[in-house]
């Protein structure tokens, strides 16, 4: 496993992290807690030290599972969690939910309790970019949390460069979490250059495009009712994306799977600190972790990727969190 410095924070992070949305059990189909715990334990054994979760994943269940894994080894793990969507999830009609910094701090403290820790390494604003009135509450709360030593770094999870600029207008942000992959490259032309210019940490969610870039889903794929991908096969972009993935298979090698190619593509961007593919079991973790030591992409391979999935083409998948 290779490690990178997380922006200006000085925190060392494994370039492959563990995305803990799926283990919440409410958005990606069935998953067993025992498998989730085993997956995270295997991740730590393989040198993965960055675990990303959120209060809304499984209504806090993901954070509770993370707590079981980091217990007794807290100093070995960079814990990343988010606050914001939980309030809207519980009371979507009340606007704004986070109208005072005290409410953000309350959400933060609730995450601390579920995670069974007294500090969080990276804490994120997890609300949609157009809720500027709530951004102010988050900014003030983040200042307090960093001052009190409860949050080592803070940032915003968003795919909007306008929100990034608004959030960082006083240069107080440490990091951005964003969606970026071979099939969704638009952020490579705005947010990632901003991150690089300002020395911020960059956490990449969706590097496997919610599993599509593993190559295991065809045009006739079906997803369970509780899976956020349930309606994908009916979307106009889906068949085209599956066709692109099949063409990308030409780049598979004996020493690199399609998923590892997709992760390597993300990691090769100079602004990226860590990619956080999800995993439901230890085998998936092992495949993800191995991408860290897979060969860099050649110029010919990059040209073929550009031909198959041009940078200006952006696929749309609903409910990106």
d(CA 128, CA 145): 21
Is residue 223 a contact partner of residue 230, using CB atoms and an 8 Å limit?
A: yes
Three-class secondary structure of residue 79 per DSSP: strand
Catalytic residue ranges: 57
Is residue 179 a contact partner of residue 317, using CB atoms and an 8 Å limit?
A: no
Question: How far apart, in Å, do the first and last CA atoms of the chain sit?
Answer: 26
Measured from the Cβ of residue 76, the count of other Cβ atoms closer than 10 Å reads: 9
d(CA 79, CA 96): 27
Span 179-191, average pLDDT: 93
pTM of the full predicted structure? 0.92
Check residue 319 and give its pLDDT.
47
pLDDT confidence of 268, banded at 50, 70, 90? very high
The conformation of residue 151, written as its DSSP 8-state character, comes to E
| CA max distance for the chain | 54
Residue range 125-181, pLDDT digits in tens: 987 656 566 888 899 999 999 999 999 999 999 999 999 999 999 999 999 999 999
pLDDT confidence of 318, banded at 50, 70, 90? very low
Check residue 234 and give its pLDDT.
86
Of the candidates 62, 65, 48, the one whose C-alpha atom is nearest the C-alpha of residue 14 is 48
Residue range 85-136, pLDDT digits in tens: 776 666 656 666 778 899 999 999 999 999 999 999 999 998 765 656 688 8
| Dihedral angle sign, alpha carbons of residues 233, 234, 240, 241 | negative
CATH number of 3-308: 3.20.20.100
């Amino acid at each position: 496993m290779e490690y990178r410095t997380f922006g200006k924070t000085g925190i060392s992070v494994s370039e492959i992290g563990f995305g803990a949305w799926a283990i919440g059990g409410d958005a990606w189909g069935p998953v067993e807690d025992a498998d989730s715990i085993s997956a995270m334990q295997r991740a730590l054994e393989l040198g993965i030290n960055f675990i990303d979760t959120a209060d809304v994943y499984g209504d806090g269940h993901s954070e509770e599972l993370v707590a079981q894994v980091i217990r007794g080894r807290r100093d070995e793990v960079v814990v990343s969690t988010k606050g914001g969507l939980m309030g809207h999830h519980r009371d979507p009609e009340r606007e704004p939910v986070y109208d005072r910094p005290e409410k953000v701090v309350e959400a933060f403290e609730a995450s601390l309790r579920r995670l069974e820790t007294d500090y969080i390494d990276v804490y994120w604003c997890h609300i949609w970019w157009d809720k500027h009135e709530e951004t102010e509450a988050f900014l003030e709360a983040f200042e307090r949390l960093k001052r009190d030593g409860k949050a080592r770094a803070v940032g915003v999870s968003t795919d909007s460069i306008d929100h990034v600029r608004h959030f960082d207008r006083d240069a107080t942000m440490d990091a951005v979490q964003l969606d970026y992959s071979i099939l969704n490259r638009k952020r490579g032309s705005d947010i990632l250059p901003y991150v690089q210019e300002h020395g911020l940490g960059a956490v990449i969610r969706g590097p496997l495009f919610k599993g599509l870039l593993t190559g295991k889903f065809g045009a006739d794929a079906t997803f369970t009712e509780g899976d956020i991908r349930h309606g994908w096969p009916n979307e106009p972009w889906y068949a085209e994306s599956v066709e692109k993935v099949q063409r990308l298979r030409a780049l598979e090698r004996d020493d690199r799977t399609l998923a590892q190619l997709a992760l390597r593509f993300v990691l090769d961007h100079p602004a990226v600190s860590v990619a956080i593919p999800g995993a439901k079991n230890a085998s998936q973790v092992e495949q993800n972790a191995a991408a860290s030591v897979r060969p860099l992409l050649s110029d010919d391979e990059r040209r073929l990727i550009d031909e198959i999935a041009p940078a200006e083409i952006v696929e749309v998948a609903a409910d990106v969190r």
